[in-house]
Amino acid sequence: MEVITVSELARKMNLKANALIGKLMSMGMMVTINQQIDAETAEILASEYGCSVRIVSLYDETIIETEKDRQEDLRPRSPIVTVMGHVDHGKTKLLDAIRSADVASGEQGGITQHIGAYQVAVEEGTVTFLDTPGHEAFTLMRARGAQVTDIVVLVVAANDGVMPQTVEAIDHAKEAKVPIIVAINKVDLPEANIDRVKQQLSEHGLIVEDWGGEIPAVEVSALKREGIGDLLSTLLVQAEIMELKANFSRAAEGKIVESRIDPGRGTVATVLVENGTLKVGDSFVAGIYPGKIRAMFNDRGQKVDLAGPAMPVEIIGLDGVPDSGDPFQVTDGEKLARQVSSKRQELKRVEAARNVKKVTLDNLYDSI
């Protein structure tokens, strides 16, 4: 429910707060200056003074005017793939196998704490991968991963089968209307039961191709690095069907994948560019914070000057720490970035004053 404090409403209407308090008293409401009133009351009150109330939500698209892309400006881009599945089913290990670099062994306790983003170049093209944690506490991050993604790779360990976070990942992918490719992992284990996985998936509405359905399923061993080529080509076939395109020549927009404070470099955020090209020197808003790109690094830590669609980059030059999943937009100059940011911070204060709702799959898309 939308709320506003009496003093804020008075300021917006260019009135003294006391005048509003008096008016509310005459309407039978006893309020103090810092008390919040709901949108309906604000509307009635405003109409008494010939004002109208427009309720805007945080990140309202109308705050930044975005130009429409012309068909002739669109060029093919690489797919964004999110790897999801139950905790410990081998998502990070699978990404390691794909990148042939060992990230999982360097993680705290082997659990993925944040979403990582990597770009992998294979002969047939480039694929962007997002890793998501399987731990149950990370529903929101998985949901956001599903939203920025073109294809979900659902990792199911063949020895363990479909588990709660597998089901949740299926639900997120369906909700976001994203195609699923199943990677049946850990097929090297003696207790691996591939048919049981396919059976369990069918109980959740995913019928794999060799059972007469439409869901591609690839058997892999992330540990032994087997089946990886198959998985990549299945992905690229799916991506080709989708004819993914973006405008490389406009101001960049995308999503914050993760952000953190780095002792040496200040606030560092990973941005996944969805459209346009990001450049060093660009002013931007990330969630509620303004910034200006001071430096950018690719997923291998190399300095880059440009980042096009589907490219994840680490950026330096933020004025605050945005949340994972926050929208990122380049603005026409620093002034606009600061204006949009202060508007959003004001809206955020109003939102924070409301009761914090528990996020579930049912109300998630209402709140982000």
Binding site for ligand GTP (CB under 6 A): 85, 87-93, 104, 110-112, 133-135, 185-186, 188-189, 221-223
- What's the CA gap between 260 and 255, in Å, rounded? 15
Consult the annotation and say whether 88 binds a ligand.
yes
Shortest distance, CB of residue 273 to ligand GTP, whole angstroms? Answer: 25
* Burial grade of 131 (CB within 10 A; 0-12, 13-18, 19 or more): buried
Task: Give the C-alpha distances (Å, rounded to integers) separating 185 from 94, 156, 188, 218.
Answer: 8, 6, 8, 8
Consult the annotation and say whether 186 binds a ligand.
yes
Residue 83 site contact among ligand GTP, Mg ion, none (CB < 5 to 8 Å, cut-off depends on kind): none
Shortest distance, CB of residue 84 to ligand GTP, whole angstroms? Answer: 9
Residue 112 makes contact with Mg ion by CB under 5 A = yes
Consult the annotation and say whether 356 binds a ligand.
no
Nearer to ligand GTP by Cβ, of 121 and 137: the residue is: 137
User: Which residue's Cβ has the minimum distance to ligand GTP?
Assistant: 134
Strands 289-297 and 303-304 turn out to be antiparallel
CB 152 within 8 A of CB 175: no
Residue 270 makes contact with Mg ion by CB under 5 A = no
Shortest distance, CB of residue 82 to ligand GTP, whole angstroms? Answer: 13
Consult the annotation and say whether 132 binds a ligand.
yes
Consult the annotation and say whether 131 binds a ligand.
yes
Residue 291 site contact among Mg ion, ligand GTP, none (CB < 5 to 8 Å, cut-off depends on kind): none
Consult the annotation and say whether 106 binds a ligand.
no
Shortest distance, CB of residue 156 to ligand GTP, whole angstroms? Answer: 10
Residue 92 makes contact with Mg ion by CB under 5 A = yes
Asked whether the CA dihedral 240, 257, 289, 15 is positive or negative, the reply is positive
Nearer to ligand GTP by Cβ, of 84 and 307: the residue is: 84
Question: If you search the block for the tokens 């709320």, which residue do you land on?
Answer: 3
Residue 275 site contact among ligand GTP, Mg ion, none (CB < 5 to 8 Å, cut-off depends on kind): none
Residue 186 site contact among Mg ion, ligand GTP, none (CB < 5 to 8 Å, cut-off depends on kind): ligand GTP
For residue 304, the cross-strand partners are 296
Name the strand (E) or helix (H) holding 367: helix 364-367
Amino acid at 314: E
Shortest distance, CB of residue 222 to ligand GTP, whole angstroms? Answer: 4
Assign 339 to helix, strand or coil. helix
Nearer to ligand GTP by Cβ, of 133 and 145: the residue is: 133
Residue 139 site contact among ligand GTP, Mg ion, none (CB < 5 to 8 Å, cut-off depends on kind): none
The footprint of Mg ion (CB under 5 A) covers 91-92, 112
Binding site feature residues for GTP: 85-92, 131-135, 185-188
Binding site feature residues: 85-92, 131-135, 185-188
